[in-house]
Structure formats: C-alpha cells, structure tokens
Amino acid sequence: MGLCVSSQRRAERMRSLAIDRAIKADNTRLNKEFKVLLLVQSAQAFVQALFELGYPLSSEKSQYDAQLILNYRLQDNLDPVIADAITSVWKDPGTRSLMRERSNEFYLMDSAPYFFNGINRLRRRNYVPNIQDVLHARAKTTGINETRFTIGETIIHMFDVGGQRSERRKWIHCFEAVKLAVFCISLSEYDQVLLEESRQNRMLESLVLYDSVGSFKYEGNRAAASTLTFN
C-alpha cells in the first residue's frame, strides 16, 4: 500500500511540475508576443504621423521601409526585414525632425523609443523580456482588473480600469464605497494628445476626469476625500 501511495504522489508531483513548466512557457511566449505587438504598433503610429504631417523621408529606401511597416501583420517572431525597416525609418532625419518638432500632435507611448533603440535585442528568436522590458511595457486596459493586497493590517483593493472614454461607464461605480480617492496624473502628458481624439490634450482630459470623479457622491450623499498627485 505504501509503495502505491508513494508512486501516486510522485506521479502527481510530476504532473504538477509539467503544468508549471507549461504555464511558464506560455507566459514567456505571450510576453514576447506582446512586446513585438507593442513595437510594431508604435512604429506604425509614427510612420502614419510622418505621412499625415508631411515629413519627407531622406531616401527611397526609407520610404519603402515605411510602407513595409504600415502593411506589416504580426507574426510569432519579429520579421528581420521589418526589424531592419523600423531601425531605418526610426533613425531617418525626417523622423528625428518629426519627434523633435511635432511629437505632441500624435499618440505615441512614452516607452516606444526604449523599444526602438533595443530592437536588435528584441528581434532575436530566443528573446526573453527582462525586467526593464516588463517595466516599460504597456497594454491598453479595458474593463476592470482588481488586485487585493495587505499592508500591515490594512487590506487594499486596487482597480486597474480602462482609461478610454468608452470604458469609464464600466468602472465609475467602483468609487461608491471609498473614503479616499488618490488620482494620479502623468506629467509627461502635458503636451500629448489622446489616442481617440488627436485634438484633446491628455493632461487636460485627466483633469476633467478628476473633476468628474471628485464630484461623484460616495457612501450615500457624502463625497469622499480626494488627493491629486502628479508623477
């Protein structure tokens, strides 16, 4: 009997380890796909801005590469041809002028230059995201994602909510039972525009949202205290 139980436990442990390895492999693959997706989408954003704002590229090769970027569809790995195209167009004098003079007129993630400058590392087939890659990565949030954690005896509920205008109606009710709302605004957005509205300043939009959240009634008719921070 003892041998049977021992064998069963070993088999269960082996299955558990196999599942853990599969989960780790899936996470690595998904993280890699996300970084490649972020890189390509950001490249397409600044190439589109080049055309719309009338910034010419310096050579026929750069113009050809720009069209390759716009027409590219994501694959499992970053195509070396597209990686070279992104590097070429990103370093082109036309792109440098665009970023220096009118980068506030179109939406580009703050972390995009980080990934463009590290594209030779990201293009490797055995690429695995490092800590800085993860910290620089960003995904558009939709719906509501809740995280609970404890500090001392205090239980904190943190909600990651969709920032797009169409998402706000989904999460405003999360503030119905709070006593303190901490609202953070990014200082880097002072001269940037919204993804869905290229004429709307992102910092002003955040202040409008802060005003609407601050005037919302919590716990019956009593409004919660609020703190506005800039980072």
Amino acid found at 189: E
Annotated binding site for Mg(2+): 141
Contacts of 75 (CB under 8 A, 6+ apart): none
pLDDT, tens only, 63-97: 999 999 999 887 656 788 888 999 999 999 999 99
pLDDT, tens only, 104-139: 888 888 888 888 988 888 888 777 778 888 788 776
pLDDT, greater one: 188 or 92: 92
Query: Residue 151, SS3?
Result: strand
Average pLDDT over residues 163-190: 70
Question: Closest Cα to residue 117, out of 136, 143, 144?
Answer: 136
Annotated binding site: 110-111, 135-141, 160-164
**Angle, alpha carbons 199-201-207 (nearest 5°):** 140
Task: Please provide the average confidence, as pLDDT, over all residues in the chain.
Answer: 76
pLDDT, greater one: 16 or 39: 39
Helix (H) or strand (E) holding 149: strand 144-151
Query: Residue 126, SS3?
Result: coil
Question: Closest Cα to residue 190, out of 110, 95, 114, 113?
Answer: 110
Q: Where in the chain is the domain with CATH 3.40.50.300?
A: 144-230
pLDDT given at position 187: 80
pLDDT given at position 112: 87
CATH of the structural domain 2-136, one choice from 1.10.400.10, 1.10.10.10, 3.30.300.170, 3.40.50.300: 1.10.400.10
Task: Give dist(CA 104, CA 45) in Å, integer.
Answer: 13
CATH of the structural domain 144-230, one choice from 3.30.420.40, 3.40.50.300, 3.40.190.290, 3.40.50.450: 3.40.50.300
Annotated binding site for GTP: 110-111, 135-141, 160-164
Residue 145 clears pLDDT 60, i.e. is over it: yes
Name which of 38-42, 94-98, 146-150, 163-167 the model is least confident about: 163-167
pLDDT given at position 30: 46
